[in-house]
Amino acid sequence: MGSRVEILNQGGFRSDGRRQFELRDMTIDLSQQGQADGAAVVTHGLTQVMVSVFGPREAKMRSQTIHDRANINVEVNIAAFSTGERRKRTRGDKRILELAATIKSTFEPVVQTNLYPRSQIDVYVQVLQQDGGLLQACVNATTLALVNAGIPLLDFVCAVTGGVHSTSPLLDLTLLEENDLPNVTVAMMPKTGKVTLVTMETRLHVDRFEEIFRLAGDASKVIHGEMKTAVRSRTSALVAAMGSGPRVGGGDSADKHGDDRMNEY
C-alpha cells in the first residue's frame, strides 16, 4: 500500500520544507520554574516539553531508598491539549509509563548517583505539544534540566529520531513522518560517542539502521552545540546578575554550579 502522504517530493523536500538531514528549529529556555532546582523547556519544531528537576533530596519512602546511590524518579504528564487525539492519557497509561521508564534507564548510567547515597532525584516531564520526536525532546530537556540543577553528569545526553522513506534516511521526524515510516530514536553522549538509548517502534532493515545510526551521531553533535550555548548563556546571565548588586542567602542553585559545570562539559 502506498503512502497517503508525500514524504519527499521530487525536489527532495519534506512536507515542512526541510531537506532529508535537516533538523527542525530547536529552542531552549533554562529560566527558573517555581521551586524546581533546575528546569528546561525545549522545543523541536512544534514539539514542546518542560522538565523540572528536584533534588537530590531525602527519599520520601524507605522502599525507594538505595543505600549507596541516589534513586532517579521520573514522572511524565502529557497535557490533554498537546495532541490532536481526544483520548485522555492518565498517569497509569501504558505509553506514559513506558516513556518514564525509558527516560529513567537512559539517565541512570549518566547521572553520578553514587555521590548522593540514600537520596532521590525527581524528574517531572510535562509534554506541552506533540508533533513527532517526543522521546528525543524529553531526553534533551531532561539533560538540560539536570545540568541546570547542578547535578553532575558524565556527559550531556543528546537524542534524535531517524526514519527511512523507501531508501532515503530522514532525521528529526514530524508526527506525519513518524506515523508513516519505520523509525528509531538514538541518544548519545557526544564526548565519548557512547550510546545510552536506542528504541525502535518498527522493524528496520539492518543496512538502513547502520546509516541512520551514523547520521544520528552527527546530529547529536549539532544538538550538543545548541545545548552548550544555552547553558553557557544561562550561566553568564546568572554570574552577571550576581555581580550587579548585593545578595542575601544562597539564591538560585544554578549559580553555585555555573562555572564548574561548563568546565566539566
* pLDDT tens per residue across span 55-71: 999 988 888 789 999 99
> Over the chain, what is the mean pLDDT?
87
Let me know if residue 113 belongs to a domain.
Answer: yes
If one compares 89 and 107, the residue with the highest pLDDT of the two is 107
Closest CA to 172 of 189, 118, 163: 163
Q: Sort strands 119-129 and 71-78 into parallel, antiparallel or unpaired.
A: parallel
How many helical (H) and strand (E) elements, i.e. helices and strands, does the chain have?
Answer: 5, 9
Q: Sort strands 183-189 and 194-200 into parallel, antiparallel or unpaired.
A: antiparallel
CA 105 distance to own-chain centroid: 13
Percent of the chain whose predicted confidence (pLDDT) is above 90: 64
pTM above 0.85, yes or no: yes
Whether residue 182 contacts residue 211, with contact meaning beta carbons closer than 8 Å, is answered with no
> What pLDDT band is residue 208 in, cutting at 50, 70 and 90?
confident
Let me know if residue 196 belongs to a domain.
Answer: yes
Let me know if residue 19 belongs to a domain.
Answer: no
Residues 6+ apart with CB under 8 A from 242: 251, 255
- CB half-sphere exposure, 258, CA atoms < 13 A: 19
Domain count, the chain: 1
User: What is the predicted pLDDT for the residue at 143?
Assistant: 98
User: What is the predicted pLDDT for the residue at 198?
Assistant: 92
- Is the pLDDT assigned to residue 242 strictly greater than 50? yes
How many other C-beta atoms are found inside a 10 Å radius of the C-beta of residue 261?
Answer: 20
- Residue tagged 514539539 (cell numbers): 47
Q: What would the pLDDT profile of 8-50 be if each residue is shown by its tens digit?
A: 888 889 989 999 999 999 999 999 889 999 999 999 999 999 9
Give the DSSP H/E element, type plus range, for residue 257.
Answer: helix 253-264
Let me know if residue 101 belongs to a domain.
Answer: yes
Domain range for residue 118? Answer: 26-264
> What pLDDT band is residue 200 in, cutting at 50, 70 and 90?
confident
- CA–CA gap between residue 88 and residue 161 (Å, rounded): 25
Question: Residue 178's domain is classified under what CATH number?
Answer: 3.30.230.70
Let me know if residue 190 belongs to a domain.
Answer: yes
Let me know if residue 4 belongs to a domain.
Answer: no
Let me know if residue 96 belongs to a domain.
Answer: yes
